[in-house]
């Protein structure tokens, strides 16, 4: 029983990290109707920047510098890409983010190097054993993951409040609905997009720091983005709490499938389990657990 | 008499006699979530007639056409078509029974040419299989040419020869509406549903459209159900009229009777219910 | 001046519906075919065949298939690599396990097997579209990746995970010289292009385009969405499966699942987009673009005399590729084919300005 709970806990922790990346997706989609495929590349870029900056300067400074860089990226994306594709089909914008992905995947390593870099956030690396009196041998948990979970939770709470309660949040939701309509009521599209991509960039930075600290900063971070897509499908494209719930479900589901199904049908299930789960959802409930239903009028 | 009607009265083709009931709707009720779009509506349509459905915006007219079409399925009520009770049917099945329609917001295939759009109207009559089409020369080519000939007749009828190869998305609004009518006609329907065919047109374009509608009814004998806001057009080309308001039927009969019906007048003038 | 339809009157519908109604287009096509079948084999060297022409032709075939699905029928698919993989492994297993089977039959059967798989993974398109469908096809890609790596039967229990194709022997003649392989692939591609053209100008092609443009209206006039979408997946998968088999047998020789991974899927989708959705010519233009671009970018520092490390070259390739995708989406979302069509329009008027 103890080991099952450990697997679940491990899955929950991984899930929280997926959610951090998925959060970036949801923000941009919620506020501009664009599905940002380059979120993973942004995580990598932010992590690389932070890792290299912190080699030569104290961490808070490195953090600020990296955050500034992500804001600059947001400006660049808005000016070079989004502004030129106003009111195009959603699929065109989605494909444009592919272009951004390739660009960042080249730019990041070019600016900051190809090697694997370490991020040391000063977090405790050794796992702790807890609840020794409830379970035999106690449960092994990772303090690092726990801190990550708390950080993610705080971010989510803050962002959810922001979208619901503030005027800017309302403007962001209007833009997601209809670019031209939002413009016609005086919402400054360009500024909104810069804001949203900056916030998303900031979330990517936090995600990058945590993932980087755990795995080391390397190219495979980009692949995490591919995992985050099913998370968003499960949670709903427009739901911030959905990103968290979806991430947890995927994280736990993956781990359980790998540990318990793996030996039966061969390992490596983790590669496609999330997608199969997403596929099921797409057929049964495409708007996800918390998303909004989209109705086509004839 | 309005100007439009005066012109049309002069050129209207002799119409066939109005026949038996071809479409009967009994106690149709349709709701979406909390909204009652149609409430207990019953009326019939006779063969070869032009039946107009009128009413203020939001009265449920388009929903009514969607029900006839099979796009919406009413929670209650029965539909009889050509004498037979119709069970819940998907739109393509309804189309195969001889029902065609046009749409309020033009539902043409914008990426295709006028000719191709009209040819899609013949889809139900095209029978060759994939392998034959992959080869093309032979059965498929013969079929394509036969249907092309028929479609060209419609192109002549609607006077759109000069734009037959133009991509539909590039045509002005009035011509798009005409092409949409052409696509509906290509299916050689028994029952034609027209959803605001004259919306957004100037007087000249309306005259042309009226002429086409009357000719379709006169020459081909097609039964027409028509939603229209222009009262002049409705009063002068339709044989009978149904009036809807807030999803309920408030008038049904000859144009003049309906015009003088107090309930109808109130609905249009916005008297409080 | 030269490219005009003046004087070319069509007196029958048949003439009007011909594949290439304008005389100059017919002449151009004849010239292209002559160059392809006669001039190139005589003049090209081995490098040209191996590195450029053969991959270009096979990828053009796959792009053709994908364009039918994405460009004509409007169903997005990110699982193309996976379907190529199905075709490759199907052909491999057929050639290996069924002795003395004619190679042409092997390829056709491989195509048919891919058709079935494609239709299966096309079922979600009946309920979801756009971005959601893209994700569903990604699921197909990752699942197929896993299937062909894990299930040993497919790779004939190969310990390294990679397999080698047998020689290409058709009608007793061994096609293994580069020029022979080129002609084999060229003939196949010409045949399939013809088939694609015929399908797009028949009623099935129209049903695809109608489903793409407005599927609700299409259903109302009698075009059944199930039929349109599944046939699009079926035909497209047939093309892609055969392309996969050719890629494995003719181009690669030996391969492993990685050769058909998600990057291949993206690369094919970009070919179709940059080339032009809904245009057969677009598949060829896009394939040419994607095949030639990396070679160009690789050679560029060399020509400019700037020494550049391979890592940097790879980074810049990625950046330029990304920038080009964005550029095309902004400037001409309808791709190179549209630019070509605009050029032809201008040519019609030349030398007059308008």
Rounded to whole angstroms, what are the CA distances from B229 to B43, B66, B201? 20, 18, 12
Assign residue C71 the CATH number of its domain.
1.10.3470
Assess if residue A200 is contained within a domain.
yes
Provide the terminal-to-terminal Cα distance of chain B, rounded to the nearest Å.
Answer: 31
Assess if residue C108 is contained within a domain.
yes
With CA atoms as reference, report the closest residue to C255 among C266, C243, C245, C241: C245
Mean of pLDDT values over A181-207: 85
Assess if residue C26 is contained within a domain.
no
Q: Answer yes or no: are the C-beta atoms of A101 and A38 closer than 8 Å.
A: yes
**What pTM was computed for the model?**
0.86
Q: Answer yes or no: are the C-beta atoms of B45 and B22 closer than 8 Å.
A: yes
Strand-pair category, B240-245 with B50-54: parallel
Q: Identify the pLDDT of residue B92.
A: 87
3-state SS assignment for residue B118 = helix
- In this structure, what DSSP letter does residue A217 have? B
| Distance (Å, whole) CA C147 – CA C259 | 14
Residues in C touching A227 (Cβ below 8 Å): none
Q: Identify the pLDDT of residue C68.
A: 95
Assess if residue A136 is contained within a domain.
yes
Cross-sheet strand order for the sheet of B240-245: B99-101, B191-195, B223-227, B50-54, B240-245, B248-253
Checking if the pLDDT of C287 tops 80, the result is yes
Mean of pLDDT values over A275-298: 72
Assess if residue C76 is contained within a domain.
yes
Helix H or strand E encompassing A19: helix A2-32
How many domains is chain A partitioned into structurally?
A: 1
Cβ neighbours of residue C233 under 8 Å, at least 6 residues apart? C69, C75, C77, C118, C119, C121, C122, C125
Assess if residue C97 is contained within a domain.
yes
| Distance (Å, whole) CA C109 – CA C46 | 30
Q: Answer yes or no: are the C-beta atoms of B140 and B133 closer than 8 Å.
A: yes
Helix H or strand E encompassing B67: helix B61-69
Note whether A84 contacts C318, CB cutoff 8 Å.
no
Assess if residue A13 is contained within a domain.
yes
Residue A195 tokens read as 């804001």
Q: Assess whether the previous peptide bond of A146 is cis (omega < 30° from 0).
A: no
Q: Identify the pLDDT of residue C6.
A: 67
Rounded to whole angstroms, what are the CA distances from B47 to B16, B70, B209, B255, B258? 10, 20, 21, 18, 21
Q: Answer yes or no: are the C-beta atoms of C132 and A286 closer than 8 Å.
A: yes
Please write the tens of the pLDDT for every residue from C65-90.
999 999 999 888 999 999 999 999 99
**Ordered DSSP codes for A239-260:** -HHHHHHHHHHHHHHHHHIIII
Mean of pLDDT values over C235-248: 95
Q: Which residues pair with B79 in a beta bridge?
A: B25, B86
| Distance (Å, whole) CA C286 – CA C339 | 12
Distance from CA of A181 to the nearest CA of C (A): 21
Assess if residue C8 is contained within a domain.
no
Cβ neighbours of residue A203 under 8 Å, at least 6 residues apart? A20, A23, A24, A27, A155
Q: Identify the pLDDT of residue A296.
A: 45
Torsion of CA C29, C35, C38, C44, to 10 degrees: -150
Distance from CA of A293 to the nearest CA of B (A): 13
Q: Which residue has the higher pLDDT, C10 or A96?
A: A96
Cβ-based burial of C316 (10 A; exposed 0-12, middle 13-18, buried ≥19): middle
Checking if the pLDDT of C44 tops 90, the result is no
Pick the range with the lowest mean pLDDT from A251-260, B67-76, C14-23, C126-135: C14-23
Please write the tens of the pLDDT for every residue from C100-126.
788 889 999 999 999 999 999 988 888
Assess if residue C152 is contained within a domain.
yes
Residue B228 tokens read as 């229209």
| Distance (Å, whole) CA C232 – CA B242 | 43
3-state SS assignment for residue C96 = helix
Note whether B91 contacts C219, CB cutoff 8 Å.
yes
| Distance (Å, whole) CA A194 – CA A198 | 6
Residues in C touching B130 (Cβ below 8 Å): 199, 204, 231, 235
Assess if residue A103 is contained within a domain.
yes
B166 close contact with C: CB closer than 8 A: no
How many domains is chain C partitioned into structurally?
A: 1
With CA atoms as reference, report the closest residue to B243 among B43, B48, B36, B40: B43
Checking if the pLDDT of A3 tops 50, the result is yes
- Structural domain containing residue A18: 2-284
Gyration radius from chain B CA atoms = 19
Rounded to whole angstroms, what are the CA distances from A115 to A103, A218, C315? 18, 7, 14
With CA atoms as reference, report the closest residue to C68 among C341, C268, C328, C322: C268
With CA atoms as reference, report the closest residue to A291 among A248, A249, A234: A234
Distance from CA of A298 to the nearest CA of B (A): 8
Assess if residue A198 is contained within a domain.
yes
B71 close contact with A: CB closer than 8 A: yes
Please name the member of A95, A229, A276 whose beta carbon is closest to the beta carbon of C329.
Answer: A95
Please name the member of C204, C220, C223 whose beta carbon is closest to the beta carbon of B71.
Answer: C220
Chain B's closest residue to C196, CA to CA, is B134
Runs of H (alpha helix) within A83-187: 90-112, 143-165, 167-177, 179-184
Assign residue A167 the CATH number of its domain.
1.10.3470
| Distance (Å, whole) CA B50 – CA B193 | 10
Residues in A touching B107 (Cβ below 8 Å): 298
- Structural domain containing residue C233: 46-349
With CA atoms as reference, report the closest residue to C191 among C28, C13, C37: C37
Residue A60 tokens read as 């808070």
Cβ neighbours of residue A36 under 8 Å, at least 6 residues apart? A24, A25, A28, A29, A42, A97, A100, A200
Checking if the pLDDT of C223 tops 50, the result is yes
Assess if residue A295 is contained within a domain.
no
- Ranges of residues in chain B with a pLDDT under 70 are 1-16, 269-273
Residues in C touching A276 (Cβ below 8 Å): 139, 143
Mean of pLDDT values over A272-294: 78
Residues in B touching C198 (Cβ below 8 Å): 133-136, 140
| Distance (Å, whole) CA C291 – CA C306 | 23
Please write the tens of the pLDDT for every residue from A130-169.
666 666 666 666 777 777 778 877 887 787 787 778 877 7
Assess if residue A201 is contained within a domain.
yes
| Distance (Å, whole) CA C155 – CA A118 | 39
| Distance (Å, whole) CA C182 – CA C103 | 16
Assess if residue A141 is contained within a domain.
yes
């Amino acid at each position: 029983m103890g080991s099952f709970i450990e697997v679940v806990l491990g899955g929950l922790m991984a899930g929280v990290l997926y959610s951090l990346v998925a959060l970036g997706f949801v923000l941009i989609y919620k506020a501009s109707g664009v599905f940002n495929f380059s979120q993973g590349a942004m995580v990598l870029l932010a992590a690389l920047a932070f890792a290299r900056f912190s080699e030569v300067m104290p961490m808070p400074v490195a953090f600020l510098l990296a955050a500034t860089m992500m804001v600059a990226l947001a400006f660049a994306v808005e000016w070079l890409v989004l502004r030129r594709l106003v009111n195009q089909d959603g699929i065109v914008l989605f494909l444009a983010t592919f272009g951004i992905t390739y660009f960042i995947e080249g730019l990041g390593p070019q600016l900051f190097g190809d090697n694997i870099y370490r991020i040391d956030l000063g977090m405790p690396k050794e796992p702790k054993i807890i609840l020794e009196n409830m379970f035999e041998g106690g449960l092994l948990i990772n303090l690092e993951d726990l801190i990550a979970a708390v950080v993610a939770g705080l971010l989510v709470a803050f962002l959810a409040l922001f979208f619901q309660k503030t005027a800017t949040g309302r403007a962001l939701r209007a833009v997601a609905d209809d670019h031209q309509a939002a413009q016609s009521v005086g919402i400054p599209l360009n500024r909104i997009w810069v804001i949203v991509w900056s916030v998303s960039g900031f979330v990517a930075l936090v995600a990058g720091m945590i993932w980087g600290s755990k795995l080391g900063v390397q190219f495979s971070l980009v692949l995490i983005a591919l995992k985050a897509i099913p998370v968003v499908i499960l949670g709903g494209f427009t739901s911030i709490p959905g990103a968290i719930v979806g991430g947890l479900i995927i994280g736990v589901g993956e781990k359980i499938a790998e540990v318990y199904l793996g030996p039966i049908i061969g390992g490596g299930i983790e590669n496609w389990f999330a997608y199969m789960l997403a596929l099921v959802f797409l057929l049964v409930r495409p708007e996800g657990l918390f998303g909004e239903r989209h109705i086509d009028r004839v | 008499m309005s100007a439009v009607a005066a012109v049309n009265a002069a050129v209207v083709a002799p119409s066939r006699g109005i026949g038996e009931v071809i479409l009967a709707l009994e106690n149709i009720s349709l709701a979406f979530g909390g909204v009652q779009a149609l409430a207990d509506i019953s009326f019939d349509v006779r063969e070869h007639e032009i039946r107009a459905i009128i009413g203020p915006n939001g009265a449920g007219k388009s929903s009514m056409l969607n029900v006839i079409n099979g796009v919406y399925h009413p929670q209650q009520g029965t539909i009889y078509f050509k004498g037979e009770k119709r069970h819940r049917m998907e739109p393509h099945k309804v189309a195969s029974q001889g029902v065609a329609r046009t749409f309020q917001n033009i539902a043409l295939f914008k990426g295709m040419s006028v000719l191709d759009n009209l040819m899609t109207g013949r889809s139900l009559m095209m029978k060759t299989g994939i392998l034959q089409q992959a080869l093309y020369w032979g059965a498929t080519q013969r079929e394509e040419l036969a249907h092309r000939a028929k479609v060209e007749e419609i192109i002549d009828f609607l006077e759109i020869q000069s734009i037959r190869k133009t991509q539909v998305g590039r045509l002005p609004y009035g011509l798009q509406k005409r092409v949409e009518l052409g696509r509906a006609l290509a299916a050689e329907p028994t029952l034609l549903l027209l959803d605001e065919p004259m919306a957004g047109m100037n007087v000249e374009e309306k005259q042309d459209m009226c002429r086409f509608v009357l000719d379709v009814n006169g020459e081909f004998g097609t039964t027409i159900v028509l939603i229209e806001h222009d009262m002049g057009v409705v009063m002068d080309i339709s044989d009978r009229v149904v009036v809807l308001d807030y999803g309920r039927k408030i008038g049904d009969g000859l144009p003049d009777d309906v015009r003088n019906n107090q309930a109808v007048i109130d609905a249009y003038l916005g008297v409080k219910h | 001046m030269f490219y005009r339809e003046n004087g070319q009157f069509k007196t029958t519908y048949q003439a009007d519906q011909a594949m290439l109604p304008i005389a100059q287009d017919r002449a151009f096509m004849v010239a292209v075919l002559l160059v392809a079948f006669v001039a190139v084999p005589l003049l090209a060297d081995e490098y040209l065949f191996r590195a450029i022409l053969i991959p270009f032709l096979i990828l053009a075939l796959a792009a053709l298939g994908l364009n039918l699905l994405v460009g004509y029928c409007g169903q997005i698919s990110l699982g193309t690599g996976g379907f190529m993989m199905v075709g490759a492994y199907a052909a491999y297993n057929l050639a290996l396990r069924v002795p003395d089977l004619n190679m042409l039959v092997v390829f056709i059967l491989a195509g048919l097997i891919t058709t079935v798989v494609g239709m299966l993974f096309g079922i979600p398109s009946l309920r979801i579209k756009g971005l959601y469908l893209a994700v569903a096809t990604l699921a197909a890609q990752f699942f197929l990746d896993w299937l062909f790596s894990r299930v040993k039967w497919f790779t004939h229990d190969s310990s390294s995970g990679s397999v080698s194709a047998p020689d290409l022997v058709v009608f007793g003649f061994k096609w293994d010289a580069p020029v022979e392989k080129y002609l084999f692939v060229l003939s196949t591609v010409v045949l399939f292009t013809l088939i694609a053209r015929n399908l797009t100008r028949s009623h099935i092609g129209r049903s695809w385009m109608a489903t793409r443009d407005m599927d609700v209206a299409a259903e109302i006039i009698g075009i059944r969405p199930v039929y349109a979408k599944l046939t699009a997946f079926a035909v497209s998968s047939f093309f892609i499966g055969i392309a996969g088999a050719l890629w494995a047998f003719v181009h690669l020789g030996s391969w492993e699942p990685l050769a058909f991974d998600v990057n291949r899927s993206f690369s094919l989708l970009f070919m179709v987009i940059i080339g032009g959705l809904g245009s057969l010519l677009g598949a060829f233009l896009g394939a040419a673009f994607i095949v030639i671009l990396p070679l160009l970018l690789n050679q560029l520092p060399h020509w400019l005399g700037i020494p550049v490390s391979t890592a940097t070259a790879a980074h810049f390739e990625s950046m330029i590729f990304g920038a080009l995708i964005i550029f095309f989406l902004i400037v001409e979302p309808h791709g190179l084919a549209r630019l070509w069509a605009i050029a032809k329009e201008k040519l019609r008027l030349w030398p007059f300005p308008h």
